[in-house]
Amino acid sequence: AVRFVALYAGLVEPDAEIDFGEIPDGVYTGSARGFGGEITVEVTIADGKLTQVKVLSHSDTPGYYEPAMDRIPKSMVEEQKVDVDIVSGATASSNGIINAVRDALREFVGELEDVDITTLARGRYIGSASSYGGELTVEVSVAGGQITHITVLSHTDTKDIADPAFTALIEKIL
């Protein structure tokens, strides 16, 4: 979650461009924060190419979001890259779509660089990653340049084993 916030805020550079030829054919789903909340996309890879980016859901402001929804996915497919030019007047929505596509293809992207927490804006950020039993989603609260709270929102790991581990890890992170 913090990584996506840092990308959104321009505090870190995006990872190297994704090589679609290295990704197995399939349909991948990802989410990231837009202007008004979470944006969820569906990304289709076929024959080593990005063939479709479809916005499944969003809660961004009508009238502002549409130019980003129309242009960003189309540009990605035409240019065969994820990091396309954002749409003026719809910056947060544009970045939300771009980051949601990155989230959908995250298992095919290299290691993430460290994020300087002290440079992040105050707020609550949601992120997901693969865990032992499936997907794990957390909410991270940041204030005053520090992580102030971490909540595990959902997971499919064995509760009796995972919950004590989450408690211990969250204490250490905080």
Rounded Cα distance, 99 and 5, in Å: 9
Per-residue pLDDT reduced to its tens digit, 38-77:
899 999 999 999 999 999 999 888 888 899 999 999 999 9
Nearest in space to 11 (alpha carbons), one of 109, 116, 83, 110: 116
pTM: 0.58
What pLDDT does residue 111 have? Answer: 47
Rounded Cα distance, 23 and 2, in Å: 25
Rounded Cα distance, 108 and 105, in Å: 6
Arithmetic mean of pLDDT, 17-40? 88
Bridge partners of 141, per DSSP, are 124, 149
Please give the structure tokens belonging to residue 168. 């211990």
